[in-house]
Amino acid sequence: MKKRYFIAGTDTDVGKTYVSVGLLNAAARKGLRVLGLKPIAAGAELVDGSLKNEDALLLHGASNVKVSYEQINPVVLEQAIAPHIAASLAGRLITASRLEGFLKGSLLMPHDFALVEGAGGWRVPLNDRESLSDLACALGFPVIMVVNMKLGCLNHAILTAEAIHRDGLNLVGWVANTPQETVMPYYQENLASLQAALSAPLLTELSWQPNDPQDAAFDALFEAL
C-alpha cells in the first residue's frame, strides 16, 4: 500500500526539505521506492542551462524512483520571493489545479512512499484567490508539520495546526526541528507548551545539522508514520 504525505512548515526556512530528505532516505533504507516532489519553488539558479531550485535538487537526489527534475519540481521561479509575486513578475499564472495535474502525472510513476513538500507556510498565496493549502486540500494527503523551534514558534505552530484541521486534513503529527547551532532558550518548556496545545502527536525532535544525518532519528520518524 502506497504511503503519501504532505510536508507543511510553520514558516519558510523551517527545515521542510531537511525532514523530507531524511524521511525519503529512511524509507529507501527499508527497500522502498521513494519519491519526493516540490510542486512549486521560488528561488533558483541556472544549472546546465535551466533554472533549478536547491531544495528540489535535494529531493531529486533522495528519490530512487527515476524521474526528471521537471517531474520533481514542475514550477520553478527564479526570484526567492513569495511565489505569487515571483510568478507575476515572470508573467505566469499558477493555479492549484495546474499544480495538482503536474503532481498526479509524477505520482503515476511506480512508488511505495511519496512526499509532497510545500513552499513557505500553509497559507502562502499561489495567486489572487488561492493558496498552497488549496493544493494540499485537493491532494488530501495526511500532513506532517515541521516546526522551527525558535522564538515565535508557539503562535506559528498553533495557528498552522488550526488551519490544517479547519481545512479538513489529517495532521498526523509534527516535528520539532532545532536550527543550525542554535538552541532555543527554555526549549523544553516551549516543547511542553506545544505538546499541550497541539492535538497531533510530536513525532520526533531533530537538530538541523548539515553534517549529522541523524539516521536513527529519521528511521524512528518513518516508523512512527
**Residue 7: beta bridge partners?**
117, 144
Does 38 participate in catalysis according to the annotation? yes
Total Cβ atoms within 10 A of residue 185: 8
C-alpha cell at 80: 526567492
Burial (CB < 10 A; 0-12, 13-18, 19+), residue 162, is middle
Pick the catalytic residue from 38, 66, 104, 150.
38
Nearest Cα neighbor of 120 from 223, 17, 225 is: 17
**Residue 143: beta bridge partners?**
6, 171
Q: How many CA atoms are closer than 13 Å to the CA of 31, on its beta-carbon side? A: 0
Query: Max Cα separation, the chain?
Result: 49
Question: Which residues are annotated as catalytic?
Answer: 38
